[in-house]
């Protein structure tokens, strides 16, 4: 059930959906901040179903601009781990309290951010090589778990692509296709769990203009960022989102 639409709940959802719009077209990890906000306003499980149609709409905006820049080999490497993460989280929803799962996700994300900052501060020659299978599997599984449990899969994918040193356009194109396909795969799980239903779809309609506005502003912002600013913001927002998850669960 959707929570009562008090002014506080409504305002929180508007901010979260707006952030998701920007995340799809300018700064993917901004959506990570929207996940905890939605979870706080609607509850973690309700939020997972409520936001999915809006995410898919945002994915279409991203594909309209960046689809031709995707790096498909990077996507294919992640798929096995992502599928494992989705299944594990679907099972965990039935047996674990979501706030403990969210806190674990926060710890993993924060650790990944700190490791990336350390690598950038103290680079080594061997880091020019692509990540090994264990690293790719970790980020894939983390993406699957976070996108199901906290709608925060963007952080895992962001850290993975930063590790791969892709360009901004390749980042956005790869991110857009990856999450469009991933979100489509999540729909049957959310419907089966009862999180995505007619009530959530009707509620989504009220927030479509908010998401569209965020996506359009995102287009404008992206054209004004360089690689260094893009990466710095991505790491900073990832760290902020992880701390929020750890504190609030």
Kindly give the confidence (pLDDT) of every residue in the chain, 249 residues in length, as a single tens digit, with 9 standing for 90 and above: 565 788 888 999 999 999 999 999 998 878 777 877 887 788 777 888 888 999 999 999 999 999 999 999 888 888 888 888 878 887 777 776 666 777 777 888 888 888 778 877 766 544 555 556 777 888 888 877 776 666 566 777 888 888 778 889 999 999 999 889 888 988 888 888 888 888 889 989 999 999 999 999 999 999 888 888 888 888 888 888 788 778 876
3-state secondary structure of 227: helix
User: Would residue 2 count as lying in a domain?
Assistant: no
End-to-end CA distance of the chain: 20
Residue 41 near residue 52, CB atoms below 8 Å? no
- Closest alpha carbon to 112 in 158, 49, 66, 47: 158
Integer Cα distance of 105 and 55 in angstroms: 20
What is the residue range of 80's domain?
Answer: 7-248
Integer Cα distance of 86 and 147 in angstroms: 8
Helix/strand/coil percent split, the chain, to 5: 85, 0, 15
Count the domains in the chain: 1
User: Would residue 198 count as lying in a domain?
Assistant: yes
Integer Cα distance of 233 and 225 in angstroms: 10
- Which two tokens mark 177? 């296709």
User: Would residue 1 count as lying in a domain?
Assistant: no
User: Would residue 210 count as lying in a domain?
Assistant: yes
Q: Would you say the pTM of this structure is higher than 0.85?
A: no
């Amino acid at each position: 059930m959707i929570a009562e639409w008090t002014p506080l709940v409504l305002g929180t959802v508007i901010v979260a959906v707006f952030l998701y719009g920007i995340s799809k077209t300018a700064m993917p990890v901004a959506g990570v901040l929207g996940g905890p906000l939605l979870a706080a306003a609607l509850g973690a499980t309700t939020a997972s179903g409520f936001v999915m149609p809006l995410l898919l709409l945002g994915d279409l905006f991203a594909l309209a601009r960046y689809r031709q820049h995707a790096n498909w080999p990077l996507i294919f490497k992640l798929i096995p781990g992502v599928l494992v993460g989705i299944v594990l989280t679907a099972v965990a929803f039935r047996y674990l309290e979501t706030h403990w799962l969210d806190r674990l996700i926060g710890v993993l994300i924060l650790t990944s951010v700190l490791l990336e900052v350390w690598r950038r501060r103290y680079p080594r020659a061997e880091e020019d090589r692509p990540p090994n299978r264990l690293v790719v599997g970790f980020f894939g599984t983390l993406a699957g778990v976070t996108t199901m449990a906290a709608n925060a899969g963007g952080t895992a994918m962001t850290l993975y692509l930063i590790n791969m040193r892709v360009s901004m356009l390749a980042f956005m194109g790869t991110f857009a296709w990856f999450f469009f396909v991933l979100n489509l795969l999540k729909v049957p799980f959310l419907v089966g769990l009862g999180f995505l239903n007619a009530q959530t779809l009707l509620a989504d309609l009220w927030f479509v203009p908010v998401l569209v506005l965020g996506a359009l502003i995102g287009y404008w912002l992206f054209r004004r960022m360089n690689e260094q600013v893009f990466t710095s913001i991505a790491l900073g927002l990832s760290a902020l989102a992880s701390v929020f998850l750890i504190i609030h669960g």
